[in-house]
Amino acid sequence: MTRPLECMHIVDVLSAAGIALNAAGSSTFHAPDIEEFFPKAFLFQGSWFEFNRIMLVRVIATVVICAIFWLVATRLKVVPSRSQSVFEYVMRFVRVSIAEETMGKKLADQFLPLITTIFFMVFAMNITGIVPFLNIQGTSVIGAPLLLAIITYLTYHVTGFKRHGFAGYVKSSMILPGAPPAMHILLVPIEFLTKYVIQPFTLTIRLLANMLVGHLLLVLAFAASTFLLLHGPWTLKGFGVLTFAGGFFAYVLEILIAILQAYIFALLAALYIQQAAESDH
């Protein structure tokens, strides 16, 4: 599998850090690399249904989020408990702040199940990176982000075709109203690439890159802290405290990024659907 250029740069930097620390007095430190995201299968090896650690994390995240929805739905009360209040607040945030403010109430009611599923699924798979014994995001490998991006891509294009017909949708999605005719020679190819090629890739890469880099940063910080504090020379103990503090900061930051990336993905999905449903560009 060909590695993205950005990932190769990250691996080079981490490897250099590992060499520097090894030279300080021990060979027990190993910098994280991209191979962590391609663990060996432990079920159905060699088949199309290979099952590895990251797939297990995705299954666990899916089961947990479905179980939470089921438990809340079966225990609703007129006077909500604290957990029900938190859940209702998050649901209201998705419905109002993401769906209705972006798509309008009528369109939001139609696509709210999809937007809600995207938000909670992305968040659940993002947050597994900081859960003990899981320690890796389900979205840190391209499969899950790409699947969600394809679902979003098909949804907004099918919506546009149904609302305006094939020719009407293609025309409205690529021709900017009010633009000089001569500019269409330049603008139409750009709009075509943006709407039909680039958007699904930006949805995928934005989520994937944030989760991948976040995991590598956490592993590097805590692996370096363990090495420096337990195995490194006394002259480097202070650096171990600094790397541990940096790792803790990155840990908290990963929680915020998990929420932010779920919000951005759901918001862009709502925005693309709204643009496809509108008759104007």
- The angle subtended at Cα 193 by Cα 191 and Cα 198, nearest 5°, is 115
The pLDDT of residue 12: 41
The phi and psi torsions of 41 (rounded to 5 degrees) equal -70, 145
The predicted structure's pLDDT at residue 28:
59
Predicted pLDDT of residue 31:
67
Residue 30: the pLDDT is 66
Rounded distance between C-alpha atoms, residue 229 and residue 223, angstroms: 10
> What is the rounded distance in angstroms from the CA atom of residue 32 to the CA atom of residue 218?
10
Q: What is the pTM of this model?
A: 0.82
Give the pLDDT of residue 232.
Answer: 67
User: Which residues, given as ranges, of the chain have pLDDT below 70?
Assistant: 1-31, 33, 232, 279-281
pLDDT at position 152, please?
95
How does pLDDT run across 61-78, given as a tens digit for each residue?
999 999 999 998 888 888
Cα separation, 105 vs 87, whole angstroms: 21
How far, in Å, are 167, 171, 172, 173, 174 from residue 183 at the CA level?
Answer: 21, 15, 16, 15, 12
Residues 6+ apart with CB under 8 A from 45: none
| Other Cβ atoms closer than 10 A to 205 | 17
